[in-house]
Amino acid sequence: MTIIDRTTVDEQDFNTLIPVDCRNVMDDMTASLDRIAESPVEGAVHIPQYPWMFDDEGLNHGRHPVPVRSIVEKLHESLVQASGEVPLLFDDEQQFFHTRLYYLFRLYGLDAMLWNDSVDSLETLSTSFGSTTPALPGPNQSRTGDYSDVQIGLLVLMEDVKEAVHDEDVLLIDVRSRERYLGLEEPIDRKMGHIPGAVNIPYGSFFTAGRMDFASHEHMRHFLDSFKEIIVYCGSGMSATPPFLVLQEMGLPVRLYGGSFSEWITDDNNTIETGDAPLNERILSLNE
């Protein structure tokens, strides 16, 4: 079992788990450190976003590129100091920094566990963890690795998406807010709208009471099962990781578009749609 919560905690040997605090404020290191200082978890090591969760010299473009293998491996190596130890990643409720790091570890075949519950519930277990807090390496690390290093079944690049928009057997899911999907507003990126043909299943719908809900989209299973592949994306590939995990836990053939919408718009040859895609009407009817 790699995703745990308070209901499955008794099945784990906490002495082998390294608590990894992934709480952050997007693109703001100072605010991130202030957030941790407000409610530190004893024995946990905090992971900054850069370069461990995204890196300018990563595999794709957009706002938050996927780091290359050497960066992710170096971080994992610093966390796991003894045989049998496994990082346990946690975050605030309904957040995505822990799921992003969990996804990156899996992308490169590295062991990790994910805490799908509140920080408060984890704090009650803090005395069960080992006594050693790992030290992180410095951010100035060599970058080696390319797309051939990743678990291909987990990641797609922009060229893959360019083909997918013409394939009726592939479903593109945009998990941003409905307003951003429709092209009514865009607070971050320079263009508005969505990748052609994509449907909109907003981020928040994958959670119940702040936790990823792996049964949240069972009512859509027949629809989702009708596609040979599902590609999920957001603005930059960060917040799409919880929806990716929910869909994967459902047993669906899902991959993450690492560059997401912020990379898609870097190529002016890529078209953008606004308003509802015809297929999205089926999504809306399923949610009524």
Rounded-to-integer distance, Cα 175 and Cα 230, Å: 13
Measured from the Cβ of residue 137, the count of other Cβ atoms closer than 10 Å reads 13
pLDDT beyond 90 at 64: yes
Q: Is 6 exposed, middle or buried (0-12, 13-18, 19+ CB in 10 A)?
A: middle
- Separation CA 197–CA 255 (nearest Å): 17
pLDDT value, residue 93: 95
Q: Where are the domains of the chain?
A: 3-147, 155-286
Residue with the bigger pLDDT between 7 and 31: it is 31
> Average pLDDT over the chain, rounded to whole?
93
Q: What is the mean pLDDT of residues 130-159?
A: 91
Work out the average pLDDT over 151-178: 97
In contact, 283 and 201? CB cutoff 8 Å: yes
How does residue 280 score in pLDDT terms, banded at 50, 70 and 90?
A: confident
Give CA–CA dist 116/20, Å, rounded: 13
- Dmax over Cα atoms in the chain, in whole Å? 55
pLDDT of residue 283: 80
In the 8-state DSSP scheme, what is residue 148?
G
Residue type at 76? H
The larger pLDDT score, comparing residue 286 to residue 220, is at 220
pLDDT tens string 225-255: 999 999 999 999 999 999 999 999 999 999 9
Q: What pLDDT score does 141 carry?
A: 93
Question: What pLDDT, on a 0 to 100 scale, did the predictor assign at position 123?
Answer: 86
pLDDT digits (tens, 9 = 90+) for 130-143: 667 888 998 889 99
Calpha distance 191→241 (Å, rounded): 22
pLDDT digits (tens, 9 = 90+) for 73-91: 999 999 998 888 899 999 9
Q: According to the model, what pLDDT value does residue 17 have?
A: 87
- Of 76-85, 113-122, 131-140, 170-179, give the lowest mean pLDDT range: 131-140
Cβ(178)–Cβ(257) below 8 Å = no
**What is the pTM assigned to this prediction?**
0.95
Pairing of strands 229-233, 254-257: parallel
Buried b (16+ CB within 10 A) or exposed e, 46-59: bbebebbbbbeebb
Torsion of CA 144, 243, 79, 29, to 10 degrees: 80
Distance CA(123)–CA(179), nearest Å, equals 37
Q: CA 62 to CA 70: how far, in whole Å?
A: 20
At residue 32, the 3 state secondary structure works out as helix
Residues making up the chain, counted from first to last? 288
The domain defined by 155-286 folds into Oxidized Rhodanese; domain 1 (3.40.250)
Same-fold call for 3-147 versus 155-286: yes
pLDDT over 80 at 128, yes or no: no
CB-based contacts of 105: which residues, under 8 Å, 6+ apart?
72, 76, 87, 111, 112
Span 3-147: which CATH code?
A: 3.40.250.10
In this prediction, residue 60 has a pLDDT band, given cuts at 50, 70 and 90, of very high
The dihedral over CA atoms of 168, 174, 180, 183, expressed in degrees to the nearest 10, equals -10
What's the pLDDT score for residue 131? 66
